[in-house]
Amino acid sequence: MITSDSKNLVFSFGYNKSIFPPYKILIENPASVQKHCVLFGFSKYGMVKNYGSTDGLNVKLSKGMSYADLLRLTANAPMEIRVTRIQVGSGKQNEKQLSQNLTITTQNALGGSVQEQIVVASHMSAMAMVNTVVDVPTPFWIDANTDVSFPVLPNTKFSLTFYPKGSGMGVAQNGIVYIDEQDAMRCVLNTDDYSDGALKDTISLSAKRNIQLNSDGTLKM
């Protein structure tokens, strides 16, 4: 799986589809003007027009439940997002969308809010083999009081895939891959594109366990 650079890589592991699936949301702005997208935040946006996004912006899941169902799900079952994948189509306009920042806003009980801005461009690199995908390994929680917002450029179509903790996504930093033990039951790493030694034969878990990899990158059980 190709992402930014050798010191900040994101890998895909096996996951239990019935418990920790990733959620892929498709977003399309068919208009010739910029629009604003809001995802999640059921308490504030669950009952408003287009769930907080600008009118005319199309938001839906790639498969399975409706976006409205996902909105209600995250209100009742908060989840910690480990990796956010942004994927755009080909073309300069779509590629510009790839670098738009994400804003995480959490409302508190007193009516105030706290915001965190994720600078997506900081996770992009000239070393990336694919320039239409960026993985953002910034963890954050999604619940009824938290939303993700960002500008959507004119005439663009793209997707955001949110990988909850336990979904099988691991983040590697300086040669150490941090994943949950539950994610390590099955592991396939594609390492052919990296020859700088960023990955070692042994990867270390945050749980202080060592996992040995076969020469083809599969997990030794």
**Domain of residue 132, CATH code:** 2.60.120
In the block, residue with structure tokens 């969308």: 97
The domain in which residue 44 lies consists of: 21-165
Give the chain's domain count.
2
User: How many angstroms separate the CA atoms of 6 and 174, rounded?
Assistant: 8
User: How many angstroms separate the CA atoms of 98 and 121, rounded?
Assistant: 8
For the chain, what percent of residues have pLDDT higher than 90? 50
Q: Are residues 9 and 63 in the same domain?
A: no
Average pLDDT of the chain, as a whole number:
75
Q: State whether residue 163 is helix, strand or coil.
A: strand
Q: Are residues 179 and 128 in the same domain?
A: no
Q: Are residues 31 and 116 in the same domain?
A: yes
Q: Are residues 158 and 184 in the same domain?
A: no
User: How many angstroms separate the CA atoms of 157 and 145, rounded?
Assistant: 27
Name the residue with higher pLDDT: 78 or 182: 78
Q: Are residues 157 and 189 in the same domain?
A: no
Q: Are residues 122 and 49 in the same domain?
A: yes
Q: Are residues 38 and 125 in the same domain?
A: yes
Among 160, 182, 157, CA closest to 84: 160
Q: Are residues 140 and 189 in the same domain?
A: no
Q: Are residues 161 and 191 in the same domain?
A: no
Contact 52, 45 (CB under 8 A): yes
Summarised one tens digit per residue, pLDDT across range 58-95 is 999 999 899 999 999 999 999 999 999 999 988 888 88
What pTM value is reported for the model? 0.71
User: How many angstroms separate the CA atoms of 128 and 19, rounded?
Assistant: 31
* Confidence at residue 127, expressed as pLDDT on a 0 to 100 scale: 60
